[in-house]
Amino acid sequence: MDRTRLTGLLLMAAAVIELLLFCRCVARRSYAALAVPVTVGVALASVLAFWMGWTLVAMEDDLAGLEFEAEPLDD
């Protein structure tokens, strides 16, 4: 697994763990006035982080075709 895919996988795992921890903490106390807007913000941040991780994991390696021989410059 290359570095980009590993970074994506770590981002997805961190997003899921962070969202689960936050939901657990919100469920323990009833701070609805504060928790609802913060929950929406945290959920959006988690979805964004998961999406970024998914993109990094799923992207194709297209750098293999970029290998070429350098030609000398004619002066």
pLDDT at residue number 15:
85
List the domain range (segments joined by +) for residue 22: 3-58
Residue 7 lies in a domain: yes
Q: CA-to-CA distance for 75 and 69, rounded, in angstroms?
A: 19
Number of domain units in the chain:
1
Residue 19 lies in a domain: yes
Residue 54 lies in a domain: yes
pLDDT surpassing 70 at residue 49 = yes
Mean residue pLDDT across the chain: 78
Q: Answer whether 0.75 is exceeded by the pTM.
A: no
Residue 74 lies in a domain: no
